[in-house]
Amino acid sequence: MNFLQVKAELDKPADASDVQDLDLARNEIRRLRALINSHCIPKRVAICGGGNAAHVLGGLLSSNTLVSSVNFLNTWEPEFERFKNILEENDYNFAVEFEHGMPTRHGKINKISMNPADVIPGMDWIIISTPAFTHELYLNAIKDHIKEGALVTILVAQGGSDWCLRACLGPELCANINFCTCETLPWACRVSEFGKSGRVLATKGSVQVAALPHGALSYACTTMNALLTVDQIVPGSDEAASGKKKIHPYFEPMASPLVATLMNLNALVHPPLMYGRFCDWTETTKWEEPPELYLGVEERGASAITGCSDDLLAVRNALLAQRPELDLSAVVSLYDAFLAIYGDSVGDPTNIMTCLRTNPGYAGLKIPMKELPAEEGGGFVPNFNMRYYTEDIPYGLVVLKGVAEIVGVVTPTVDTLISWCQEKMGKEYLDAGGRLAGKDLGETRAPQNYGLTTVEDLVRWP
């Protein structure tokens, strides 16, 4: 419904039966007016977090002439104090660097605080760029300071980000803001110098964006394409040979956050890679150096990714059987997803394993491992307490499993991965019968934790 259509509805005579519809229409017109007043492109941005992506966002946004101010909110005191001290020492200068010969971009941060009241009020765009287990913490912290019509982005979605946002902010506030999320990070990136700069290692050709209400989708994509795209030559491409530059990444519309929940690429790829590498690991096995994460993928890991892909498509097909009108066209096999994202960079597109092994953008990305001290003989062993387990399982595969239970689909590979990972993590999400009834299920974003038990529940807003 556009602005004029809403206004026409409001101009109609009302009777008692129209009250609820009019309230909804008034909420829509207030949101659209705020959107119009913001001139579509946010000028004031707040970034929640302080990790790899937050550093790149800080550099990209503070160096963009369309943006008037960039604030940081960081609620973790040890990291905040270090971040603040370095910013002050550097006169709040910030930068983003690029791996493939692009010039460094320089900007300036306006303010950093642990207190949302200092950095959130009046912000046009609020980006939560933190691990999934902190999303609830940040949403609860900022909810009293979000202005009407603001765009709130969770980067990246993980599973059920819209369910989490609705539970934290409540339907009334959700009705007066715009929400969006991305299926994946737009870049492979790292902190270059903490508190000073981020570094883009590789950019993705396209990234899909989901938004609520659906009318905010164009606004969300326009915002990201205006503020986060950069000119970058893709290594090995025709453009690289000719010296021409491509605009990467391109943010394009996704049908709904449910698609982002299902197409959770981190969760569909990281646990299978860990399983493939470490499922038969014993404590006597050590590595001199951490193995390559993607370039070193083995047949077993690639096979597990394929199995996850098969489970994903089975869930998609069951959802469509119950609700044929759902647009799940972007829920595709992981092989197709890799080609869509990295097609220009992949050297050998024969299968999933070759796609991973021959993508130069993955060069240098190692498996995060635990380094043993010299007195224990040194070397590296698996770290079962890092985000490929602690984030990609409870906020990824467990969510997919929850949707699968709602639509009555079995997910053999997903079940195997959850069972193996939860044992390594010391958690219990699946019970002995393979059902989502383990003692630690409440720590996850399984839809059942939000009282969602039907397909209609999964897509409700606000």
Active-site residue set: 270
Q: Is the dihedral of CA 424, 426, 432, 436 positive or negative?
A: negative
The Cα-based distances of 254 to 100, 106, 109, 270 in angstroms read 29, 31, 31, 23
Q: Residue 193: which of 63, 50, 293 has the closest Cα?
A: 50
Q: What are phi and psi of 312, to 5 degrees?
A: -60, -45
Q: Is the dihedral of CA 225, 229, 234, 237 positive or negative?
A: positive
Q: How many CB atoms lie within 10 A of CB 81?
A: 12
* CB of 151 closer than 8 Å to CB of 219: yes
Strand partners for 44:
69
Q: Please name the residues in contact with 284: beta carbons below 8 A apart, sequence gap of 6 or more.
A: none
* CB of 133 closer than 8 Å to CB of 391: yes
CA distance 364 to 189: 11
Residue type, 101: G
CA distance 440 to 426: 10
Tokens of 266: 């981190």
CA distance 59 to 78: 22
CA distance 344 to 219: 27
CA distance 107 to 7: 41
Tokens of 291: 């193995």
The Cα-based distances of 54 to 127, 199, 259, 389 in angstroms read 9, 11, 24, 21
DSSP 398-451: HHHHHHHHHHT---HHHHHHHHHHHHHHT--SS-TTSSS--TTGGGS--GGGGT
